[in-house]
Amino acid sequence: DAGITQSPRHKVTETGTPVTLRCHQTENHRYMYWYRQDPGHGLRLIHYSYGVKDTDKGEVSDGYSVSRSKTEDFLLTLESATSSQTSVYFCAISEEGSNEQFFGPGTRLTVL
Amino acid sequence: AQSVTQPDIHITVSEGASLELRCNYSYGATPYLFWYVQSPGQGLQLLLKYFSGDTLVQGIKGFEAEFKRSQSSFNLRKPSVHWSDAAEYFCAVGPYTGRRALTFGSGTRLQVQP
C-alpha cells in the first residue's frame, strides 16, 4: 500500500470553528489531492497541489483552503466549518508522469 | 468539461453469477480511465486502468474492463462474483499527466446474495 496517512481519522466539531485536516505521504510523489465523498456524488475534487507551494482549486473549493510547505504534507483547512461540510475527506497522491492516484484511508468529519 | 456516468446506483447479483458494471464518460481528449473499489469504511483501491493499447484490460481480483471508444464506455466485468466483492465501485476519467485531477462517477454499490 502507498504510504499515505490522514489525521485525524474522525472529528466532530461545531459550526463556525476552524478545522485542519492533514495528509502525509512517504512516497515523495509530486501531486497531492483533496476530495470529499458524499452519497450520490462520488468523489469531488476540492483542491490539488502540483508541488510545494503550488496549489489550485477544484470543483468544490468554496469554504476550503490548502497549504503545502513540504512535499510530504498537504493540509486542508475549513476556516469556519458549516454543516454542509460534513463529509468524508480523502487525500490522494500521484507521481510525475502518471495520473494513477493512490488514496489515503479518509477522515470522517461531522459538523454539528 | 469531463464527466462520468454510472447509470446503476445499486446492483444485486448472486454469488457465482457474472457481473457487468457500466461506465460512460465524456472527455475531450484521449482519456485515462480507471476503476476503483471501496469496501465499507475503507479508502479507494485501484482495480485497473486504461490509457492505450489493448482495449481489454485485466485488473486485480479477477476483474477486467473493456474500453469502447465508439460508445464512450469503459464497463467493468467479472465472470464469477464472490461474496467478498460486495463494495462500491467507482469509474473515473482524467488526463494522462497529474496536473489535473480525476473526475469520478457517483458509484455503483454491489450487493452479493448467497
User: Under an 8 A CB cutoff, do A43 and B99 touch?
Assistant: no
pLDDT grade for B98, boundaries at 50, 70 and 90: low
Of chain A, the percentage scoring pLDDT greater than 90 comes to 84
Identity of the residue in A35, A96, A99 whose CB atom sits nearest the CB atom of B94: A99
pLDDT grade for A96, boundaries at 50, 70 and 90: confident
Given this model, what pLDDT does residue A2 score?
Answer: 65
**Residue (of A63, A55, A68, A81) closest to A23 by Cα position:** A68
pLDDT grade for B31, boundaries at 50, 70 and 90: confident
User: Under an 8 A CB cutoff, do B101 and A96 touch?
Assistant: no
pLDDT digits (tens, 9 = 90+) for B40-88: 888 899 999 998 888 999 999 999 999 999 999 999 999 999 999 999 9
Given this model, what pLDDT does residue A104 score?
Answer: 95
Contacts of A43 in chain B (CB under 8 A): 44, 90, 92, 102, 104
Strand partners, A73: A24, A70
Rounded Cα distance, A67 and B39, in Å: 30
pLDDT digits (tens, 9 = 90+) for A39-66: 888 899 999 999 999 999 998 999 999 9
Look over chain A and give the mean of its residue pLDDT values, rounded to a whole number. 93
Of chain A, the percentage scoring pLDDT greater than 70 comes to 98
Residue A1 pLDDT more than 80?
no
Contacts of A102 in chain B (CB under 8 A): 46
Residue B99 pLDDT more than 80?
no
Cα distances from B41 to residues A16, A21, A81, A90, B37, in angstroms, run 27, 18, 23, 12, 12
How many Cβ pairs within 8 Å bridge chains A and B?
A: 66
Which residue from B minimizes the CA distance to A42? B106
